[in-house]
Amino acid sequence: AQSVTQLDSQVPVFEEAPVELRCNYSSSVSVYLFWYVQYPNQGLQLLLKYLSGSTLVKGINGFEAEFNKSQTSFHLRKPSVHISDTAEYFCAVRKAAGNKLTFGGGTRVLVKP
Amino acid sequence: GAGVSQSPSNKVTEKGKDVELRCDPISGHTALYWYRQSLGQGLEFLIYFQGNSAPDKSGLPSDRFSAERTGGSVSTLTIQRTQQEDSAVYLCASSLAQPETQYFGPGTRLLVL
């Protein structure tokens, strides 16, 4: 079975500062990795995904993530955040041959002016 | 184009009553998923439909939960004899047959009194 750990439940950050959200996973088989964002009272929106190839993945809204197989990590970064980035962020994995997503517990990002 | 839609957006019910939650996937998506998002358990997979194949029901928490997908499109999640611990946001997602990206609906917020 897969598991996902998001090490920070909350991350306060000032506007225009960089942010990094940490995600570690555990799996005995090959997995695909995803980051989703959830704005208040909305569903989940895909930010980016890693399937194969380059370990540095660029997504929407200026976010990027790096897959590190040896450290089983998939940390999300943004060099300069905006107030509108205030949301909850979820890391998720899926078995390459599977279908269902396994999510981490989420990280709430609060961007302060 | 139209995304995944869910209805109702909010549902308040009394303990012991049955509820039905509806999901309309993106047109052309053959895969459909239900997840539950609750304070105590985070985001959990419930059930997965793919075309005419038997659904993957491995995430359903009890036999009070059931789901069906009619005509390969609309899906209904039914919770019988609701309990207070069923209070959560129920999210539906759909994808193409190769489920690289799951697209989520806005969810149904269920409150059991």
B15 or A2, which is more confident: B15
Cis? peptide before B106, omega within 30° of 0: no
pLDDT at site A73: 95
The alpha-carbon gap from B14 to the nearest alpha carbon of chain A, in Å, equals: 23
- Contact status of A59 with chain B (Cβ, < 8 Å): no
Q: Pick from A67-71, A107-111, B70-74 the range whose average pLDDT is largest.
A: A107-111
Instruction: Give the three-class secondary structure for A83.
Output: helix
Ranges under pLDDT 50 in chain B? none
Q: Summarize pLDDT for B83-110 with one digit per residue, the tens.
A: 999 999 999 999 987 667 899 999 999 9
Cβ <8 Å between A103 and B42 = yes
For residue B35, which residues of chain A lie inside 8 Å, CB to CB?
Answer: 101
Q: Summarize pLDDT for A83-107 with one digit per residue, the tens.
A: 999 999 999 999 888 889 999 999 9
CB atoms within 10 A of CB B97: 10
